Amino acid sequence: MILCGYPCIGKSRICKEDPSLFMELDCNKRDRADPKWCEAYGDEAIKLSRQGKIVFVSLHRALRAYLKKAAPGEYALLVPKPELKETWIAHLKHRADHTGLPKDAKALECCSKWYDDDMKEYAQEEKDGAKVIWLDDFITRDLILSICE
């Protein structure tokens, strides 16, 4: 199963808990100047998923569109509920302040600006048939395993 996860939901933490089952493919380590980065990223996730891994990837729109074509039914979106906007942005701010990493600052900036629009987009994808898991809090191992059954 491929899980497209919103920033700060716990992807890295889950992968560290059980690296034999969970794997995170970090899109920040991709050359996004390459017009085919998304297909290569998606193909790697599909390959690992079909080998039995639970693979966490980003929520980039281009990736979701690619997975919809290349691996229908093999992926899900993990996103916070729309009403958790302020809580989620506070999580992101805490993380960005704590780590000082540019990727965390960028996640905070993007989510602060686009949260409401993103949630509408995910809701539309759900109406169009995508599997969307609306989260109340951070992900847990048990939740992920139940999604992937």
> pLDDT tens digits for 84-138?
999 999 999 999 999 999 989 999 999 999 999 999 999 999 999 999 999 999 8
* Long-range interactions of 123-126: CB distance < 8 A, separation 24+: 123/82, 125/64, 125/77, 126/77
Q: CA 47 to CA 70: how far, in whole Å? A: 11
Give the confidence band of 26 by pLDDT, cuts at 50, 70, 90. Answer: confident
Q: How many CB atoms lie within 10 A of CB 113?
A: 10
Which phi and psi (to 5°) does residue 111 adopt?
-70, -35
pLDDT tens per residue across span 31-86: 667 778 889 999 999 999 999 999 999 998 999 999 999 999 999 999 999 999 99
Q: CA 99 to CA 95: how far, in whole Å? A: 6
